[in-house]
A and B are shown apart, each in its own frame.
Chain A
Amino acid sequence: MLEIKIQKPLKGSVGEMHLDVDLSIEEHAFVALAGPSGSGKTTLLRILAGLETAQGSIYVSRAVWQEARTVLPPQKREIGFVFQEYALFNNMSVEENLLYVSKDQKLADELLEMTHLSALKERLPTTLSGGQKQRVSLCRAMMKRPKLLLMDEPLSALDPVMRTKLQQDILNLHKTFGTTTVMVSHDPSEIYRLAERVIVLEQGKIVNDGTPKEVLLKTQGSQKFSLVGEILEIIQADVIYIAVISIGQQIVEVVLDSDEALLFQVGEQVQISTKAFSPSISKLS
């Protein structure tokens, strides 16, 4: 059980705000932290790691990590941390990066095997691709057999195919090692696939907390088929207008009449819905 009660004044991108989080997380849970950038997600993660100071308390399965007088340094907390930009030790080979954390050769071999990195263990990090680097970083984080695995947008710098592969690795490691995992993420599909709980931060406060289904599916309970997108362009074609809208990684066109065309502007976030009783679905060849 992870119990967090933290306050910290922050200078966010939109002026001053107050990070104020009161939260408990079950052991072995996989929790996603979501919310707009500048809402305090990364700061919360860094406070958990002991990399930043804050007022309040943190207890991890009855051990005190932070209280009124005691604040454990990052060295003393049983955590693994995966940074967005990998943060590997460039002067060490892949294997040495792992062994630096702990001289457990067997565990290192096992981790490299699990993530298909064994063939690369002699290589220097600068010679690896982004996906490979992040897998090394993930393995390195597991070398302490951490109670708590913290990940700060670990996959946001990777392409979609590599993301899917790494999501599987993350899930495998989370299950194999029985860690409690907290991951900052912006990607709804990633959250849906990995997390069993989503906590949404806004302006330093928790504004939503529930299962991915409850939090992410905005059409919950209705028969509507609904997606959120951004208008890229509105084109006039004879008497009608066509809005080009980006939804996730897809571009779609929606027909508007002239009254509707006046309502919307390029760059706006919009909801596209249809009362389709049975949307047609087919496999990609």
Chain B
Amino acid sequence: MDLMSIDYTPFLLSFKLATIVTLILFVIAMPIGWWLSQTKCRCKPFVEALTSLPIVLPPSVLGFYVLFALSYNAPIGAFFEETFGIKLVFNFTGLVIASVIYSFPFMVQPLQGGFETLNKNMLEASYIAGKSRFETLLRVALPNIKPAVLTALIVTFAHTVGEFGVVLMVGGSIPGETKVASVAIYEFVEVMDYPQAHIYSAIMLVMSFSVLLGVYLFNQRHKRRIGVQ
């Protein structure tokens, strides 16, 4: 079998999904990670437990709740369909929403961890210089935790590419719409098309490894350049 004859649509779909989810999560999760790293609020453990839930919940449980919440029978799903005429399940939009929830901890935790390692006096020096919290976040905090930002982006991306259970529950397997690479592999195995499953799996494996290797190489170089604090 030659590589040109492989249908790459599921991969493209996986990457499109992962890119969109990563961008959305970076915007949503960054302020939350920042807040978690700075707050002394008593509610912090509850927020942390809530944002970490997707790590421990079986994807099928999460997928089930998301499916249930977004379907036409639930208020959210009904509202979107009646107001905007948008269906939220068994299409790409549903996948994006489900993946944002599912990958949330993978963005928040590295960012929060990075922010927590920052020298508190450095942030205070920025406040004393007259800069707001937001400006301090953008110009001082983020540039000083580049490895954590990169880790958060890549791990979120990789985790979204690698998800299976949630995607299957919420999206099903509609070619070109919700049939991402992991689902495609599952279906090849189900119909015993092992050669195709092998090729798909090998591509996923090599790509995942290269991405992670890239991250660790960058982080090592960065540490050497900026000096470990």
Contact = CB atoms under 8 A, between A and B. Distances in A.
Interface of A: 49, 51, 73-77, 79-81, 83, 85, 87-91, 100-102, 124, 126-127, 140, 143-144
B45 interface: no
Given A75-B131, A101-B129, A90 B121 contact: no
Residue among B121, B125, B143 with the highest chain A CB neighbour number at 10 A:
B125
B139 to A, nearest CB: 7
Contact of B122 (A89, A143, A144): A89
Contact of A89 (B128, B132, B140, B229): B140
A87 B130 contact: no
B131 A51 contact: no
A85 B89 CA distance: 54
Contacts of B129: 100-102, 140, 143-144
How many chain B residues sit at the interface, stated as a range, is 10 to 19
Contact of B128 (A81, A88, A90, A124): A81
A239 B130 CA distance: 68
A132 to B, nearest CB: 14
B227 A126 contact: yes
Given A51-B124, A88-B125, A100-B126, 17 more contacts: A49-B124, A49-B128, A51-B128, A74-B124, A75-B128, A81-B128, A83-B121, A85-B121, A89-B125, A90-B122, A91-B143, A91-B144, A91-B226, A100-B129, A100-B131, A124-B226, A140-B129
Interface string B112-148: 0000000101101111111110000001100110000
Nearest to B146: A91
16 contacts: A49-B124, A49-B128, A74-B127, A74-B128, A75-B127, A75-B130, A81-B128, A85-B121, A89-B126, A90-B144, A91-B140, A91-B143, A100-B126, A126-B227, A144-B129, A144-B130
Contacts of B125: 81, 83, 87-89, 140
Residue among A49, A73, A74, A143 with the highest chain B CB neighbour number at 10 A:
A74
Pick the 5 closest A-B CB pairs, nearest first: A87-B121, A91-B143, A126-B227, A101-B129, A83-B121
B124 A87 contact: yes
Contacts of B126: 89, 100
